Structure 1
Amino acid sequence: MPAAVGVIETLGFPAVLAAADAMVKAGAVTLVYFDKAESGRFLVAIRGRVAEVNTAVAAGIAAGEQAYGGQVITHYIIPNPTENVEAILPIDYTQKVEQFRMF
């Protein structure tokens, strides 16, 4: 079953931590990627069903903005990424996150 991808980029670690926490609590999603982007920017990516990802990203944006000094720079949702996108970008379910997979 294809899984949507949701990504949030924030300025500062507290905002990305709050966003990631809110996303995994708001929907049946799996956190598949987290990393620093540049200049204090952080990325977090989740996978799950489209409706769940939409709900989770909305909650993550709200939480990231409410974190002290938090700023959500951008966000994006891909409802059904193609296989070549999954093969190149680090958004697939890895062995590390498989135990937390929601479906």
Structure 2
Amino acid sequence: MRTYEAIGAIETFGLVFILEACDAMCKAANVELVGYENVASGYISVIVQGDVAACQSAVEAGIAAVEKMGANIYSSVVIASPHGDLNKMIDRYQLGDFLPVEEGDA
């Protein structure tokens, strides 16, 4: 069973805002994007993993990016040393394997 030092998550409304949040989160700290979920009616949550300080910095950066665009963050959390059973929920959010972009395709 996989465990993480920490996980961080935010929830906002709309794909454009969550993309901006994810970009800010991944640029602000050494975190890995676990995945996202369109929760309901446009509410989207995103989860990152990393060490506690990195997740905290990432979540703060994601919140700031969304608020700078004039949108609202509906919830956010950083969980240090998450219990192993949370993997049952986190695995649901895992991003699928994407084909790598070949040079010249982009």
State the TM-score bracket (shorter-chain normalisation). 0.7 to 0.9
Please tell me whether the aligned partners of residues 20 and 62 of structure 2 are also in contact (alpha carbons under 8 angstroms).
Answer: yes
Q: Give how far 1:94 is off.
A: 7.1
The question of whether the paired residues in 2 share the 8 Å contact of 1:15 and 1:72 is answered with: no
Q: Where does structure 1 lack aligned partners over 5 or more consecutive residues? A: 98-103
* Pair 1:48-2:83 in alignment: no
**Structure 1 residue 82: Cα displacement:** 1.1
Partner residue of 1:39 out of 41, 48, 60 = 41
**TM-score, scaled to structure 1:** 0.81
- Amino acid of the structure 1 residue aligned with 2:5: A
Q: How many residues align?
A: 95
Number of the residue aligned with 1:59: 61
Alignment deviations for residues 61-95 of structure 1 (CA, whole Å, 9 cap, x no partner): 0001122x522111011111111112x11258777
Q: Does 1:72 align with 2:82?
A: no
Letter of the 1:89 partner, please give it. Answer: M
2:89 maps to 1:89: yes
Q: What residue number does 1:16 align with?
A: 18
Q: Report what 1:27 is aligned to.
A: 29
Aligned partner of 1:79: which letter?
A
Letter of the 2:9 counterpart: V
**4+ residue segments displaced more than 4 Å:** 91-95
Aligned CA RMSD, in angstroms, stands at 2.1
Classify 1:95/1:81 alpha carbon distance in 2 versus 1 (closer, same or farther; 3 Å): same
User: Which deviations, in whole Å up to 9, do the C-alpha atoms of 1:6-56 show, x marking residues without a partner?
Assistant: 000001112111110000000000000111011110011000000011111
1:2/1:39 CA distance change after superposition, 3 Å:
closer
Q: CA deviation at 1:2?
A: 3.7
1:94–1:42: structure 2 CA closer, same or farther, 3 Å change rule? closer
- State the identity as a percent: 35
